[in-house]
Amino acid sequence: MRFLIKFSYDGTNFAGYQRQPGLRTIQGCLEEAVLKINNQIPVVITATGRTDKGVHALEQYAHLDLNVAITPYKLKRALNSNLPDDIYVMDAKEVADDYHIRQHVVQKTYQYRLNMATYNPLRRHYVYQHNYDLDVKKMQEAIVYFVGTHDFRAFVTENYLKENCIRTIQEAYITYDSYYPGELIFTFTGNGFMRYQVRNMVGLLLKVGNHKIEPLVVKEILDSKVRGKHGCRAPSCGLCLVKVELDENIK
Amino acid sequence: MRFLIKFSYDGTNFAGYQRQPGLRTIQGCLEEAVLKINNQIPVVITATGRTDKGVHALEQYAHLDLNVAITPYKLKRALNSNLPDDIYVMDAKEVADDYHIRQHVVQKTYQYRLNMATYNPLRRHYVYQHNYDLDVKKMQEAIVYFVGTHDFRAFVTENYLKENCIRTIQEAYITYDSYYPGELIFTFTGNGFMRYQVRNMVGLLLKVGNHKIEPLVVKEILDSKVRGKHGCRAPSCGLCLVKVELDENIK
């Protein structure tokens, strides 16, 4: 039986999503929880993608196969009782045996949060604390260059350079948070994001906000397809996968 | 030189405010940070009051004496560079040598947060997760009984029973959070609160919300001055000291 699960996690105390020997990872914890349900038969969990160390997810999906018969509701309950309190399974449903999660992702939305107001210890794991004012208007001008279908190889690590780096970003914009004064949110919605892509895009936008570069330089770097000397990655704690839109068939 | 400091903390990883041998406490961390600034001469820090294990503060004040000459701005900077990331000093100012913080507190506001919506791992240290719906209307009816000047000995631990338990609560009300859907906030503003008082008041209100008792029973228990069989304490993680109002002289 193949199941689709919807889950969320606080990335603070994980070495990222992907299973790694000897490290506490989200995949590792999920697979360990499933092991107990699946009569100790190991199960590989396939998510829509990975997130890095310290990155959070308010909505993530994965598929997995079980050798035991269980209802989706009982699977959800059993997973949550075997999972630590920084991962939570919100939903589970049965899917076709040939269902593969990666074929059903329509778009993903990431948000990057940055605080320009007084440091708040209660928010320290969820925002990047930036103690200097940023030119939000200039960054808003620059972020628009990311919208559309582009070869994003200037915003990935070397490992990706032999791969297809063409992705489409439907929306990219900056807003002030309505609740936490001084928190700025960079929102990116696209059909897919490569490793470090969002943090590298935000890192470059911060250079615009700090008046190190003009907004147009963002377009130039994107067009050049070369990371170059302005390459800069924003810290992981501000990043959160907030939404994954799947196609209608399984919703 | 006597200084007044304004600070905030995430109570999650502390064994409470008060210094205790061998335990990580807020007072302990503050005094250790001051030790480095004060040429290794120990300093006692006096706050407006204590908070328990797991309880947070967005605004707390304390006074302390230093043997070294330092400007308030440099003191703030030096403290923050010596403090862990779950405590933050927002402000420091010099005060008169006979200034005692406890004589200047006009009122304090505590908020207790409870989540009735889907568990969110990013909020787990800041709300009490309550998986069953509560009758908010009934709780709103009951919370009003706490407003006014009362002998609150029915809401404290035995240790307090020989002390004066008369306190004044100016405001007590329940609101839905505008940002986190499903989060309920119990707000209490008063001239002072005793240990466990807020959590015991919330614990009793939850019994009203769960239809275990009628709202009027809250008034009866308050008037009886006896904790009694309905005594119930809400978990610490939902509690936060959000505001301390000091008198005008030092603002």
- 3-state class of A222 per DSSP? helix
Chain B contact for A117 (CB, 8 A cutoff): no
pLDDT per residue as tens digits for the range B114-126: 999 999 999 999 9
Average pLDDT estimate for B8-28: 97
* pLDDT computed for residue B251 by the predictor: 44
Average pLDDT estimate for B123-138: 96
Q: How many domains does chain B have?
A: 2
Catalytic residue among B52, B65, B86, B177: B52
Candidate from A10, A119, A120 with C-beta closest to B122: A10
* pLDDT computed for residue B162 by the predictor: 80
Q: Are residues B85 and B19 in the same domain?
A: yes
In a domain, B250, yes or no: no
Q: Are residues B179 and B207 in the same domain?
A: yes
What is the C-alpha to C-alpha distance for residues B31 and A250, in angstroms, rounded to an integer?
A: 57
Q: Is B135 a catalytic residue?
A: no
* pLDDT computed for residue A249 by the predictor: 52
pLDDT per residue as tens digits for the range B50-73: 999 999 999 999 999 999 999 999
- Which one-letter DSSP state was computed for residue B141? H
Instruction: Give the residue with greater pLDDT, A228 vs B74.
Output: B74
Neighbours of A126 (CB within 10 A): 21
**pLDDT of B249 above 70:** no
Q: Are residues A186 and A90 in the same domain?
A: no
pLDDT range class, residue B230, cuts 50, 70, 90: confident
In a domain, A236, yes or no: yes
pLDDT range class, residue B248, cuts 50, 70, 90: low
Chain-chain contact of A58 with B122 (C-beta, under 8 angstroms): yes
In a domain, B219, yes or no: yes
Q: Which residue has the tokens 């993608």?
A: A49
Q: Are residues A186 and A110 in the same domain?
A: yes
Chain A contact for B56 (CB, 8 A cutoff): yes
Q: Are residues A122 and A238 in the same domain?
A: yes
Where does a domain end: A103, A132, A161?
A103
Q: Are residues A80 and A99 in the same domain?
A: yes
Write out the residue range of the structural domain in which residue A112 sits: 105-244
Candidate from B10, B124, B178 with C-beta closest to A122: B10
Q: Count helices and strands (H / E) in chain A.
A: 5, 10
**pLDDT of B250 above 60:** no
Q: Are residues A93 and A135 in the same domain?
A: no
Q: Are residues B114 and B97 in the same domain?
A: no
Q: What is the CATH number of the domain that holds B42?
A: 3.30.70.580
Q: Are residues B85 and B135 in the same domain?
A: no
* pLDDT computed for residue A227 by the predictor: 87
* Residue ranges of chain A whose pLDDT lies below 50: 251
* pLDDT computed for residue A31 by the predictor: 97
What is the C-alpha to C-alpha distance for residues B118 and A42, in angstroms, rounded to an integer?
A: 29
Nearest to A5 by CA among A189, A246, A248, A242: A246
Nearest to B238 by CA among B62, B60, B51: B51
**pLDDT of B239 above 60:** yes
Q: Are residues B162 and B218 in the same domain?
A: yes
Chain A contact for B131 (CB, 8 A cutoff): no
Chain A and chain B share a number of CB contacts under 8 A equal to 47
Q: What is the CATH number of the domain that holds A221?
A: 3.30.70.660
pLDDT per residue as tens digits for the range B140-196: 999 999 999 999 999 998 777 788 999 999 999 999 999 998 999 999 999 999 999
Q: Are residues B117 and B94 in the same domain?
A: no
